[in-house]
Amino acid sequence: MSVRIILADDHKIVREGLRALIEKRPGFEVIAEAEDGRTTVKLTKELSPDIVIMDIAMPDMNGIEATRRIIEQVPNVKVIALSMHSDIRFVVEMLKAGASGYLLKDCASEELTNAIRAVMKNRTYLSPDIADIVIKDYSRLISKENLSVFSILTAREREALQLLAEGKTTREIATLLKISVKTVETYRQKIMDKLNIYSIAELTKYAIREGLTSLDK
């Protein structure tokens, strides 16, 4: 029986390359693709794949938030992060969100295959480069963890911040999150108060720095 996989990455050329690599391997099947986190969550709920290969920097909802939502709502699904981000914060937050593996995008195809097989056996897989980073940066992480956006803001506030940083209007955010305009305004004020940042430009810089979004979105 094939391992059923969803690919989540906002770059079509990356998804096409991954599909070609994965489908060369016997027993693997790509059943869907998504270009943002919100669509990834929706497709995962609808299709119940075995594995989601998840980018971190995606529009509307980043990969960390999407992973957290997937693990809460479809707990049998395994998530493997495949990202350009090697920063310890992203690795740890993906694992805390429930990911079973973390690889860098420049990994060899054989490594991705090994990761898929490992997580299907209920093991956690970190590429050697990522494992080295985790070990070297562990003490630094412990001292700075409380400063992370993932500990300062709630999940809903992080969603709102990402959408603000991506240029969405208050009404557009309200529609996407299925809340009132007034609630969005409340979130924005809480975010600013918690971060002590009071301009959209500075909030955008902060969101990029913390990995909630990126410059090319």
Q: Clarify whether residues 98 and 138 are in a common domain.
A: yes
Domain boundary among 123, 143, 163: 143
In this prediction the pTM is 0.77
Q: Clarify whether residues 101 and 160 are in a common domain.
A: no
Contact, 64 vs 211, CB < 8 A?
yes
Q: Clarify whether residues 117 and 20 are in a common domain.
A: yes
Q: Clarify whether residues 68 and 126 are in a common domain.
A: yes
CA of residue 7 relative to chain centroid, distance: 12
Q: Clarify whether residues 120 and 26 are in a common domain.
A: yes
Q: Clarify whether residues 92 and 161 are in a common domain.
A: no
Contact, 195 vs 158, CB < 8 A?
no
Q: Clarify whether residues 33 and 87 are in a common domain.
A: yes
Q: How far is CA 15 from CA 44, 68, 70, 202, in A?
A: 16, 22, 20, 32
Q: Clarify whether residues 92 and 171 are in a common domain.
A: no
Q: pLDDT at position 21, please?
A: 92
Burial group, residue 98, by CB count within 10 angstroms (0-12, 13-18, 19+)? middle
Our count of domains for the chain comes to 2
pLDDT tens digit string along 103-161?
998 887 889 999 999 999 999 999 888 888 777 766 565 555 556 788 889 999 999 99
Q: Clarify whether residues 135 and 172 are in a common domain.
A: no
pLDDT surpassing 80 at residue 217: no
Pairwise pLDDT comparison (165 vs 150), residue with the higher score: 165
Q: pLDDT at position 146, please?
A: 55
Q: Clarify whether residues 81 and 47 are in a common domain.
A: yes
Q: Which domain holds residue 72?
A: 3-143
Report the CATH number that the domain containing residue 189 is assigned in CATH. Answer: 1.10.10.10
> In the β-sheet with 3-8, what is the strand arrangement from edge to edge?
28-34, 3-8, 51-54, 78-83, 101-104, 125-126
Q: Clarify whether residues 96 and 193 are in a common domain.
A: no
Q: How far is CA 161 from CA 174, 177, 202, in A?
A: 12, 12, 11
Q: Clarify whether residues 123 and 175 are in a common domain.
A: no
